[in-house]
């Protein structure tokens, strides 16, 4: 059944990607440690997963921790790692019951065994779900993704002529999902920040000043309306007949 906030005939993206920015600033404005912002950010994520699923979005991919975030203060990084364990313990059963499939994308080598075990638990417990796929990018970078895909191609012994965009895309961390239709970044920054560089080549970009802990259904629906109003041409011209390439 169509969600009440979705207008009749409104085009809904199949895949939404979000850079969840502004947790630290949200906490600072309230004179709280940055980790409190990240905790409220997890709550915002759970709300957003539910809202996306209710609106018929099939894939949601979020940037939780970039490969550059290791440069942050040690206590913040440590708190984020602990927050992974808390979030899995607090929300896994709820998400599993609501039909959410969880996938973790990124370089797992640098995180602790406890965090890797929590991720594995989340993936295994939700592997049967099909309502919406939540991909969480943790210790992820777009350039890393392209490099690791190339390394996998070499390891598989692919010849140069066997490697094309489709094959390389399958070897990337998001090989299980179509490219994002809509890319949202909260927090007021207007950049991609090394997130899904390959996959967002033709995504519609929406930037909002809303800090991530305050993101909710109203902000999601505003982004969806913006997306629905755009004409996606993928480099072409509407109603134009493709011309044969000249010899």
Give 83-92 pLDDT, tens digit per residue: 888 899 899 9
Q: In which band, very low, low, confident or very high, does the pLDDT at 10 lie, cut at 50, 70 and 90?
A: confident
Angle at which helices 113-126 and 74-97 cross, to 10°: 20
Of the ranges 3-7, 9-13, 28-32, which one carries the lowest mean pLDDT score?
Answer: 3-7
Q: Is 129 a catalytic residue?
A: no
pLDDT at position 80, please?
A: 85
Residue of 54, 51, 72 whose CA lies nearest to 62:
51
pLDDT at position 234, please?
A: 64
Measured CA to CA, the distance from residue 193 to residue 239 in angstroms comes to: 35
Q: Is the pTM of this model over 0.75?
A: yes
Catalytic residue among 21, 54, 145, 181: 21
Of the ranges 4-18, 94-108, 142-156, which one carries the lowest mean pLDDT score?
Answer: 4-18
pLDDT at position 247, please?
A: 47
Q: pLDDT by residue (tens digit) across 56-78?
A: 999 999 999 887 777 778 888 88
Q: In which band, very low, low, confident or very high, does the pLDDT at 145 lie, cut at 50, 70 and 90?
A: very high
- Beta bridge partners, 62, equal 18, 136
Catalytic residue among 69, 107, 129, 221: 69
Joined together, the tokens standing for residue 189 give: 């920054």
Task: Count Cβ atoms within 10 A of the Cβ of residue 64 and give its class: 0-12 exposed, 13-18 middle, 19 or more buried.
Answer: buried
Q: Is 139 a catalytic residue?
A: no
């Amino acid at each position: 059944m169509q969600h009440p906030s979705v207008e009749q005939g409104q085009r809904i993206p199949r895949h939404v990607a979000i850079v969840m920015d502004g947790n630290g600033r949200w906490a600072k404005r309230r004179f709280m440690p940055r980790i409190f912002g990240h905790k409220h950010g997890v709550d915002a994520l759970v709300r957003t997963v539910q809202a996306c699923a209710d609106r018929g979005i099939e894939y949601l991919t979020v940037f939780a921790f970039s490969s550059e975030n290791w440069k942050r203060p040690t206590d913040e990084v440590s708190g984020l790692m602990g927050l992974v364990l808390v979030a899995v313990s607090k929300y896994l059963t709820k998400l599993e019951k609501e039909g959410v499939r969880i996938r973790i994308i990124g370089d797992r080598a640098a995180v602790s065994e406890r965090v890797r075990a929590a991720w594995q638990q989340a993936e295994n417990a939700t592997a049967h779900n099909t309502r919406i796929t939540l991909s969480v990018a943790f210790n992820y970078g777009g350039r890393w993704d392209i490099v690791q895909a190339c390394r996998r191609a070499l390891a598989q012994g692919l010849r140069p002529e066997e490697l094309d965009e489709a094959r390389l895309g399958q070897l990337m961390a998001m090989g299980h999902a179509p490219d994002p239709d809509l890319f949202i970044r909260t927090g007021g920054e207007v950049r991609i920040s090394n997130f899904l560089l390959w996959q967002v080549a033709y995504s519609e970009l929406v930037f909002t000043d809303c800090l991530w802990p305050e993101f909710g259904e109203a902000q999601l629906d505003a982004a969806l309306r913006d997306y629905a109003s755009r004409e996606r041409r993928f480099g072409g011209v509407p109603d134009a007949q493709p011309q044969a390439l000249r010899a």
